[in-house]
Structure 1
């Protein structure tokens, strides 16, 4: 385990040096704050800049706090995932390309530990960022909208976190398998484009990792059927395990491609 702890420290040091532990949380917190604040002041903003005819009175829908969480989820599902892909698409392939991995591969190394160290640190950074962003949104929702029960918010965060772990695992597994450009393209397809496909034709199936994020909002619906959520979580966890095994094996298989 001493070798594994060294790898963990290395990954944390790298994420600190390139400021990922700083700018990724800031990005998620900013979006978390903007969503409730923007929705609260949107009617006033539109009245001041919307060039509406004099005397016109447009009735804006009254949003609840639960609606803001769902709206924030839409932001994270596009911009947030794009941040994750772009920030970590070269985590393993980049080390092979610039020769950094040579310093590791010449030593006795467990490729499983190598992949897991990246997986744990990356998930720590990303999940911490997502949690901070959602908690920041919750703070302003409580001030500007209505009270949302804590157990609903934390159940929502926990469920959405499973989807985030899946996204991180996809990105790292593809980075271990493909060059950085290929990993980025396929990761965007697997996480972003396939979401769109699932939303268009996903009515034909109810259990899928790509539905976990949507099902996370069911915690705000008192009478929602949660059976599909639990099955989707089980399948997502199985996908994560398979991807970790795949990523570890690809890191070992592609070690010979490291630039010397």
Structure 2
């Protein structure tokens, strides 16, 4: 446990030193603020710069607060996932390449503690950033739109957090298994390309990790397929555990490739 706590502190210090602990939350909070503010003032902006002919009516849809949460989530599903990939694609592979891992591997530590310490710190940073972004959006939604029930918001965030943890685990697994470039490429395929495929032809199935974000949006209304929801959550949790196990073994197996 002592070596594990040392590894946790090491990961936290490293993320403070490279400013990820600061700039990642800022990115998510900025998007969280911009989404409700932009959607509120966009009709006026369009009227002032739209060059509409005299007498023309510009009918803009009336958004509800729940719609803004869903719209912000779609931003996080693309830009947010890219931030996760770009920030952490080299978490383990870069340490092997630059020789930093050598200083760790010669010490009495388990690869489980090594992988888990990174997993905990990265999830803490990303989940904290995502929740701060949604809380910032919620504040402006309450002011500019309609109030949204706290129970619905927290159910939405808890469900969406399962997807975020899955995304972080995918990136960390590929970083343990492959080089930094390959980890980035496969992470994009799994988290972005497969997400697009699921949105296009996903009507043919109801259980998938890529369905979790869709089920999260249903927290603002009602989930018509409770079994599909819980099975998707269950499958995602199992995959997270499997990827962690494979990531630990990959880090151990690739230790010999570390630059000395």
1:214 aligns with 2:224: no
Instruction: Render the CA deviation track for 1:112-151: whole Å, top value 9, x for unaligned.
Output: 1100000000000000000000000000000000010000
Asked whether the 8 Å contact 2:4–2:114 carries over to 1, the reply is yes
Q: 1:83 aligns to what?
A: 83
Asked whether the 8 Å contact 1:218–1:226 carries over to 2, the reply is no
Moved over 4 A (4+): none
Q: 1:94 aligns to what?
A: 94
Q: 2:167 aligns to what?
A: 167
Moved more, 44-53 or 128-137: 44-53
Q: 1:201 aligns to what?
A: 201
Asked whether the 8 Å contact 2:215–2:223 carries over to 1, the reply is no
Query: How many aligned residue pairs are there?
Result: 260
1:225: how far off? 3.3
Please list every run of 5 or more consecutive structure 2 residues that lacks an aligned counterpart in the other structure.
Answer: none
1:48 aligns with 2:48: yes
What is the rounded CA distance, in whole Å, between the counterparts of 2:258 and 2:55 in structure 1? Answer: 68
Instruction: Render the CA deviation track for 1:39-88: whole Å, top value 9, x for unaligned.
Output: 00010010111121222111111000011111011100000000000000
What is the rounded CA distance, in whole Å, between the counterparts of 2:101 and 2:209 in structure 1? Answer: 32
Q: 1:3 aligns to what?
A: 3
Q: With structure 2 as the length reference, what TM-score do the two structures score? A: 0.99
Could you say what secondary structure the match of 1:207 adopts?
coil
Please list every run of 5 or more consecutive structure 1 residues that lacks an aligned counterpart in the other structure.
Answer: none
What is the rounded CA distance, in whole Å, between the counterparts of 2:240 and 2:176 in structure 1? Answer: 15
Instruction: Render the CA deviation track for 1:20-44: whole Å, top value 9, x for unaligned.
Output: 0100000000000100000000100
Q: 2:108 aligns to what?
A: 108
What is the rounded CA distance, in whole Å, between the counterparts of 1:52 and 1:87 in structure 2? Answer: 43
Could you say what secondary structure the match of 2:100 adopts?
coil
Q: 2:155 aligns to what?
A: 155
What is the rounded CA distance, in whole Å, between the counterparts of 1:254 and 1:47 in structure 2? Answer: 59
1:227: how far off? 2.5
Could you say what secondary structure the match of 1:101 adopts?
helix
1:229: how far off? 1.2
Q: 1:13 aligns to what?
A: 13
Q: 1:129 aligns to what?
A: 129
Instruction: Render the CA deviation track for 1:146-196: whole Å, top value 9, x for unaligned.
Output: 010000000000000000000000000000000000000000100001000
Asked whether the 8 Å contact 2:111–2:248 carries over to 1, the reply is yes
1:223: how far off? 6.0
CA RMSD, 1 decimal: 0.8
Q: 1:29 aligns to what?
A: 29
